């Protein structure tokens, strides 16, 4: 449904009378299947929004090719626009009109007649549960209500592909969960959803596949589980009342233990293939060696660990 090859974009910036060229996107290759939720994960300034705006025909690429729903991004822009919905970070609602008015206007702009536009607006109001406030002015809406309307506007014309740029930024946990449910519902109806986010939990919980972007380049791609499996093993952290060096000596004798690391006088950290099976063996070995264990923690790899491995820094940083 979305295919890109070598997509690039640079900007020129001026500082102290000097012009500098900044490579925002450095040759992106993507292949997004029909009916999947595809996540573009990365820190602010990584190139997520620039890529999205290129794919939505809002800015032209400097180089590379792309097709969206079978339409060429460079030569068939009108066809691309008919096939997509786009929801920007800031949204697009007006304070002094109602949700119903916004939806009917959007439908009319896509060529629907008055009767069809009103009917389609009613369908979307019901689908996104906007009925309670659909006839109130938008300035009275909460952040979550506005965001639901933003997405409703993006799908009013039944697009094949929906682009969502940071759709849950600033929302409370309940509104975020509701938004995730709406995105999943669109996927179940056959729509392809391309979402940018810098929230690790959102990408992990919502996306079928993820591409991690950093400094304008894709550094990893796959399902959340595939990416986490690339970070070999689970991490077990032990708190001790005995000297940590004694525990480390015992643990280094276990075949299952890798990268045994002493951290201070009373903590040891080690990597194991599977924490579920390793922890009982670790506890028995320490007990047999006369080492007193006070706490034991299991840490499974996260998408932040993937980012750290691929880039040398944490996404949260």
Return the CATH number at 253: 3.30.70.270
* Final residue in a domain of this structure, among 171, 205, 223: 223
Q: What is the pLDDT of residue 305?
A: 82
- On whether residue 287 sits in a domain, the answer given is yes
| 240 and 208 fall within a common domain | no
Per-residue pLDDT for 208 more than 90? yes
Domain count, the chain: 2
Rg (the chain; Cα; Å): 25
| 272 and 254 fall within a common domain | yes
Q: What is the pLDDT of residue 76?
A: 97
| 237 and 191 fall within a common domain | no
Q: What is the pLDDT of residue 134?
A: 96
| 237 and 217 fall within a common domain | no
| 145 and 199 fall within a common domain | yes
DSSP state of 173: H
| 218 and 243 fall within a common domain | no
Per-residue pLDDT for 190 more than 90? yes
H helix intervals, the chain = 48-55, 77-83, 99-109, 114-127, 143-155, 173-188, 200-206, 224-229, 244-251, 275-288, 303-311
| 293 and 146 fall within a common domain | no
| 196 and 245 fall within a common domain | no
Give the global pTM: 0.82
- On whether residue 122 sits in a domain, the answer given is no
Per-residue pLDDT for 315 more than 90? no
- On whether residue 101 sits in a domain, the answer given is no
| 160 and 266 fall within a common domain | no
Q: What does the pLDDT look like over 41-55, one tens digit per residue?
A: 988 889 999 999 999
Q: What is the pLDDT of residue 5?
A: 97
* Final residue in a domain of this structure, among 223, 256, 274: 223
| 145 and 293 fall within a common domain | no
Q: What does the pLDDT look like over 84-107, one tens digit per residue?
A: 999 998 877 899 999 999 999 999
- The end-to-end CA distance of the chain, in Å, is 33
* Final residue in a domain of this structure, among 223, 248, 283: 223
More confident residue, 103 or 317: 103
Q: What is the pLDDT of residue 93?
A: 87
Angle formed at CA 141 by CA 49 and CA 176, multiple of 5 degrees: 50
Q: What does the pLDDT look like over 30-79, one tens digit per residue?
A: 999 999 999 999 888 899 999 999 999 999 999 999 999 999 999 999 99
- On whether residue 103 sits in a domain, the answer given is no
Q: What does the pLDDT look like over 250-299, one tens digit per residue?
A: 999 898 888 888 888 889 988 888 888 899 999 999 999 999 899 999 98
Averaged pLDDT, 166-181 = 89
- On whether residue 310 sits in a domain, the answer given is no
Averaged pLDDT, 168-184 = 89
Q: What is the pLDDT of residue 316?
A: 63
Q: Which residue segment(s) compose the domain that 254 sits in?
A: 232-300
For residue 7, the cross-strand partners are 28
- On whether residue 127 sits in a domain, the answer given is no
How many Cα atoms sit within 13 Å of 110 on the Cβ side?
Answer: 23
| 45 and 174 fall within a common domain | yes
What's the CATH number where 211 sits?
A: 3.40.50.300
| 194 and 252 fall within a common domain | no
- On whether residue 308 sits in a domain, the answer given is no
Question: Going by DSSP bridges, is the β-strand pair 209-214/37-41 parallel, antiparallel, or unpaired?
Answer: parallel
Q: What rounded mean pLDDT belongs to the chain?
A: 91
């Amino acid at each position: 449904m979305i295919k890109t090859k070598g997509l690039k974009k640079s900007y020129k910036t001026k500082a102290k009378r000097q012009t500098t060229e900044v490579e925002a996107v450095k040759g992106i290759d993507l292949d997004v299947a029909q009916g999947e939720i595809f996540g573009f994960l990365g820190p602010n300034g990584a190139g997520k929004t620039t890529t999205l705006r290129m794919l939505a025909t809002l800015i032209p690429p400097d180089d590379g090719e792309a097709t969206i729903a079978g339409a060429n991004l460079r030569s068939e822009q009108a066809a691309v626009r008919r096939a997509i919905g786009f929801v920007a970070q800031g949204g697009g609602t007006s304070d002094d009109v109602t949700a119903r008015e916004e939806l009917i206007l959007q439908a009319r702009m896509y060529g629907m007649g008055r009767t069809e536009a009103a009917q389609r607006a009613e369908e979307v109001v019901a689908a996104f549960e906007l009925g309670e406030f659909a006839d109130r002015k938008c300035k009275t809406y909460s952040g979550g209500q506005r965001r639901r309307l933003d997405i409703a506007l993006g799908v009013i014309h039944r697009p094949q592909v929906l682009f969502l740029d940071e759709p849950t930024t600033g929302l409370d946990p309940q509104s975020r969960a509701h938004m995730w449910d709406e995105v999943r519902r669109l996927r179940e109806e056959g729509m392809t959803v391309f979402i940018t986010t810098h929230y690790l939990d959102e990408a992990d919980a919502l996306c079928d596949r993820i591409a991690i972007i950093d400094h304008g380049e894709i550094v990893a791609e796959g399902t959340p589980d595939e990416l986490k499996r690339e970070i070999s093993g689970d991490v077990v952290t032990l708190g001790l009342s005995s000297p940590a060096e004694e525990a480390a000596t015992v643990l280094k004798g276990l075949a299952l233990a890798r990268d045994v690391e002493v951290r201070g006088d009373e903590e040891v950290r080690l990597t194991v293939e599977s924490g579920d099976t390793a922890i009982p063996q670790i506890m028995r070995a320490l007990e047999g060696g006369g080492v007193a264990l006070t706490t034991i923690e299991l840490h499974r790899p996260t998408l932040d660990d993937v980012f750290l491995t691929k880039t040398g820094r944490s996404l949260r940083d």
